[in-house]
Structures are given as structure tokens and as C-alpha cells.
Chains A and B, each alone.
Chain A
Amino acid sequence: MKNVKKYLGKLRIVKKKHYHPLIHKIHREHKISKKTLFYIKEYGPNANVPKRIIKESIKILFFASIISSVGGLALEHLKTTLVSLMPLLVLIPVLNDMIGDYGTIISSKFSTLLHTKRDNRWWIDKELKKLFLQIMVVSIFTTIFSTTLALVITSFMSEAPKMLVYKLFFITIIDVIILVSILFLIAIVSGIYIYRRNEDPSNFLIPITTSVADFANMIILSALVVMFL
């Protein structure tokens, strides 16, 4: 017990940038999970918790802000069109949330897959194919569901012409199909790249896919609106 306390004390003062074989030693000798040890090291009594969190998060948050603002610029250009297309305006936050969520799901599942599978040939992996089909089916279902609800909600304010209704379904479904495919492609390509560099894909894939998803959603949606409406 005395030894554990001594080791844990040492672990708390290990500098972040230093490699810490202590984690492996304590894990091996005292059967304390690596996650617990990582947490103790990161947020122990001697750690400056706010500084550590801010330092680790700020860069990716700045990156996400820039990407989102560029995407927002595409929306700003469509301002006049959007005001006249109320159902689409209702759908913008819905689509953004949905696509971001799919990015998170795909990234976390693919990260786990990379850690657990021994075979590197992802293209023949049944689980990945199944996940792709599941996400695609859920996304098409939820898009039809949310577009219908958006049309119902806005019908109380003004009724949309029939042609617009068909076009709206077409645009949102195509948008979601393209985005889910892009998300899978990004998750697979960057996931394998990060994994081969011996880093944990879980730390990188979620911010990458969600930022790209938000940005791509606004660009693709704007392009589809310009083309079809």
C-alpha cells in the first residue's frame, strides 16, 4: 500500500510531455486500470486543472470556430432564399445536429474497431459494412421524419407549394447521403493514418469528423439549394 501511494505521488508530478513508464509499472504491479492512472496523472492534486483543459482544448475549438464560420458564410449568402424557404430554415439546426452526431458515432466506432481488429483490411470488414448500412438507413429515416415535421410546423405560418415539398425532400436526403459517405471516408482514411502513427484515433477523429461534417453540410446544402431551388 505504501508503495502504491509513493508511485501515485510520483505519477502526479510527472510532466505532461514526458513519457511515463510509471503508468505501466503501477498497472502491472498493483492492477490499477490505466484509465484511472491516466486520470490521476492528468487531474491530480498538483495539476492546474483549468490550465490543462484550456491548453488542450483551445486549438481544436479555434479550428472548429473558423471552419464553422466559413460554413456560416455560405448560409449568409443564401439569407434571402432562406427567409423565403421556412422549412429549410427550421431544418438547418436539425441537419447540423444530426450530421455532427453521425460524425461522433462513426469516429468512436471506427476507433474501437481499429483497436480491436487484427486484420487491417477494413474494406472486407463486416462490422464496418453493417455500421455503414445502419447509419445510412437511420439518416434517411430521420431526414424524412424531420423534413415532414418541419413542413408541418411551417404550414401553420404559410403553406409550401407541392413542388417545393418534393424538392425539399430530395435536397435533404441527397445532402445526408453525401455527408454520411464523406464522414465514413474521412474516418477511415484519417483513422488508419493516425493509428499507424501509434496514436489513439479516439482523440482526433471526433473533432475532425464533426468539424468537417458541419462545414461540408453547409457547403453542400447551399450548393443543392442554388442548383434545385
Chain B
Amino acid sequence: MYILDKNFKEIFLSQIVSIIGGLITGTILVAYTEKLFLIPGLLILLPGFLEMRGNISGSFTSRLSSGLFLGVIKPNKIKTKIINGNLMASFFLAIIISLTLGILAFLFNYLILKVVYVKIIFVPLIAGVIANTIEIPLALATTFYLFKRGHDPNNIMGPFITSTGDVTSIIALLVAITII
């Protein structure tokens, strides 16, 4: 059975892109360990916060791509009801899920680690607003750009969202911690 075919190469290349994004995030995490780990419960919300970007922006770009391919969304018209609706929904979901992650981290801190730290609720909320203000318009612009250039956004946006989303998220978390 020959396994080193086109499929193998595509999976391998997309993983290399994903790894680079992850390594940048991990390096920032290590560089600011003292600052980040001072917050009790930050590691509880970290995986969910990093994953949220893919779950929300990933679905957002997937819906946009489907619309573009089906001709329901026009590549030259951004201000339409369907795109505005998608943007609103993605922002709303990001805020709600950020708040949920904060509440869960607070509850786990309180119930399991016996630490009361209310500020942990606001860390992902502020970071979520910052990260999504950058990530969602970036995802929209990149999807349209790729489509106009004749590429299939579905093949590229997955690793792109994972990589840029991780970096944006970790920087947003640092900014939020500094603000709080």
C-alpha cells in the first residue's frame, strides 16, 4: 500500500503551517510564563480560549466559502445582509463563549482549587473582544481575497485560522491581563 501520495503531502503541508502557529504561541507562553501563571486558573481557560477561535472563525469562513461558491454571496459585495448577519453572530458567540470560559474557570477555581478570584471572569471576556475584533474581520478579508484569486478558501482557511488565531489569542490574553 503506497501511502506517500498527494493526500499525504496535503495533510503534511497543512500540519507544518499549523505547527508554526502553535510554536509561536507556545514561545510567547513561555516568554510570559511569570505574568500568565500568576493568574490562578488561567490554564483552565487557556485550551478552551485557543480552541474557540477555530470553532467560531472556522465555521464563519466555512459558511462564507459555501455562500461564495454557491453564488449566494457576491465576492465584490461585502455589505450585505447575509455577511452582516454572519459577523454579528460570530461576535456575539465569541463574547458569550469567552464569558462562559471565564465563569467556568472561576467555578473550577472556587470548587476544586479553593481559590476565589473574580477577575478571572473578565480576563477571557476582554481578551475575547480584542482577539475577535482582529480575527473575524481578518478571516472575512482573507476568505474574500482567496476566493477572488481563484483559490478554494476551504483548503487554506483551516490552518490559517488555527495559526493566526492562536497568536492573536495569546497576545490578547496578555493585553487583558495587563489591563486587569
User: Which A residues are closer than 8 A to B by beta carbons?
Assistant: 33, 35-36, 39-40, 43, 45, 48-51, 53-54, 57-58, 61-62, 64-66, 68-69, 71-73, 75-76, 79, 82-83, 86, 89-98, 100-101, 104-105, 126, 129-131, 133-135, 137-138, 141-142, 145-146, 149-150, 153-154, 157, 207, 210, 214, 218
Select which of B1, B26, B71, B105 is within 8 A of A90 by beta carbon.
Answer: B26
Per DSSP, chain B at the interface is helix
User: Which B residues are closer than 8 A to A by beta carbons?
Assistant: 1, 3, 7-8, 11-12, 14-16, 18-19, 21-23, 25-27, 29-30, 33, 37, 41, 43-48, 50-52, 54-56, 59, 63, 66-67, 70-72, 81-82, 84-86, 88-90, 92-93, 96-97, 100-101, 104-105, 108, 112-113, 158-159, 162-163, 166, 170
A56 CA to B89 CA in the complex, in Å? Answer: 11
Nearest 5 pairs of A and B residues by beta carbon = A49-B85, A90-B26, A68-B48, A94-B22, A53-B89
Question: How near does chain B come to A97, taking the closest CB pair, in angstroms?
Answer: 5
Question: How near does chain A come to B125, taking the closest CB pair, in angstroms?
Answer: 13
Whether B85 pairs with A96 at a CB distance below 8 angstroms is no
B112 CB contacts on chain A under 8 angstroms: 73
Whether A64 pairs with B55 at a CB distance below 8 angstroms is yes
Shortest Cβ distance from A66 into B: residue: B104
A45 CB contacts on chain B under 8 angstroms: 81
B54 CB contacts on chain A under 8 angstroms: 100, 210
Select which of A71, A90, A101, A137 is within 8 A of B159 by beta carbon.
Answer: A101
A133 CA to B3 CA in the complex, in Å? Answer: 7
A35 CA to B71 CA in the complex, in Å? Answer: 11
Shortest Cβ distance from B87 into A: residue: A50
Select which of B45, B84, B93 is within 8 A of A69 by beta carbon.
Answer: B45
Given A54-B89, A79-B43, A98-B19, A91 and B100 contact (CB-CB distance below 8 Å): no
Shortest Cβ distance from A70 into B: residue: B108
Given A79-B43, A146-B23, A53 and B104 contact (CB-CB distance below 8 Å): no
A133 CB contacts on chain B under 8 angstroms: 1, 3
Whether A43 pairs with B82 at a CB distance below 8 angstroms is yes
A206 CA to B1 CA in the complex, in Å? Answer: 27
Whether A100 pairs with B26 at a CB distance below 8 angstroms is no
Whether B70 pairs with A93 at a CB distance below 8 angstroms is no
Whether B27 pairs with A142 at a CB distance below 8 angstroms is no
A218 CA to B50 CA in the complex, in Å? Answer: 14
Contacts A75-B46, A79-B37 known; 15 new A-B pairs at CB < 8 A: A36-B72, A49-B81, A49-B82, A50-B89, A57-B89, A62-B100, A76-B44, A89-B33, A90-B27, A97-B19, A133-B1, A134-B8, A138-B15, A142-B16, A157-B30
B47 CB contacts on chain A under 8 angstroms: 68-69, 71-72, 75, 96, 214, 218
Whether A72 pairs with B86 at a CB distance below 8 angstroms is no
